[in-house]
Amino acid sequence: MEAVKRVYQDAKPDIVIHLAAKVGGIGANRANPGKFFYDNLMMGVQMMEVGRQVGIEKFVAIGTICAYPKFTPVPFREENLWDGYPEETNAPYGLAKKMLLVQAQAYRQQYGFNAIYLLPVNLYGPGDNFDPESSHVIPALIKKCIDAKRYAQSEIIVWGTGKATREFLYVEDCAEAIVLATEKYNKPDPVNIGAGFSAQGGSAFGGEISIKDLVELIAKLTGFKGEIIWDITKPDGQPRRMLDTSKAEKEFDFKAKTNFEDGLKKTIDWYLITK
C-alpha cells in the first residue's frame, strides 16, 4: 500500500491504466496459485482505492480471459462472465482480476467513480516473456523451436494433447484497443478485447486456433523440422477460448489489424535479434 500511495504522490495522474500483474502460463499458475491470487488482488484493489481517494478522472482496469467460466459457450460473450467457475489451473489468477470488475462497478455505484473493465484475450508480440518457467504458449513455443535449431535437437516436447484452442491478439492491437476505450468508453459493463474474425470467417487476425495447429505454424515459421512430442500428462488448460468482440467495435470502434502470421513473424524476428 505504501508503494501504491507513493506512485500516486509522485506521478499525480489524471487517468490510471492498470496493466500490472503477476502472470504466467499454465505451469506458473499451477506452481503459484496463492501468490497469483494475493498479489493480483491486492495490487489492483489498492490501486483503484487510492485512485478513488485522490480523485482521479478515470481508472482503466485490465482483466483477463481467465476470468471466464471453464465451459463458456464459444464465442465468449460478456454476459456469460458469471455463468460458472473458471478453469482450475487459472482460477486464482482469473478470480483475483475479476474482483476489479466488482470493485469498479461498486465504486461507480457508490462514489460515481469512472472505472472501466476490459477483458483481453491471450496476447503475443515483441517484448514478450520468453522465460520457460513463466512464459505463455507462443513465446514458449518460439523459444523451444529456435533452441532446438540452435542446438541441433531433433525434437521438442509440448504440454497437453494439442486439442485445446486459443485466440491470440497482437500486442500493438491490444494497446490501441486500450487507448480507444480509455478515450471513448465510460460504462460499467465489461468489454472483450480480441482478434475477431477476418471477413472470410477465418482466423487471419488470430481467431480460434488449436494448439496443435499453432505448434505446426510456429515450427514452420522458425524453420524447425524435427519431431513434436506431446506430453499428455500435462494439462491443456481451458478447452476453448475465443471472444465475441462486437461490443468493442460498437462502443469504441476497435478492430484488430495485424494478420496472425505477420504478428508471429515480427515476434520471432524480435526474439532472434534480442536473444
Active site residues: 93
HEC readout, 197-218: CCCCCCCCCCCEEEHHHHHHHH
Contact 3, 11 (CB under 8 A): no
Contact 97, 40 (CB under 8 A): yes
Task: Write the CB contacts of 228 (distance below 8 Å, at least 6 apart in sequence).
Answer: 155, 156, 158, 215, 216, 219
**Residue 260 amino acid letter:** F
Q: Reduced to 3 states, what is the DSSP secondary structure of residue 231? A: strand
Contact 129, 203 (CB under 8 A): no
Q: What is the dihedral of CA 5, 174, 138, 38, to 10 degrees?
A: 30
Give dist(CA 211, CA 130) in Å, integer. 18
Q: Alpha carbon of 25 to those of 18, 36, 76, 135, 186: distances in Å?
A: 20, 11, 20, 5, 31
Q: Reduced to 3 states, what is the DSSP secondary structure of residue 195? A: coil
| Residue 191, H or E segment | strand 191-193
DSSP code of residue 73:
P
Q: Which three cell numbers stand for residue 175?
A: 494497446
Nearest by Cα to 203 from 164, 167, 165, 255? 167
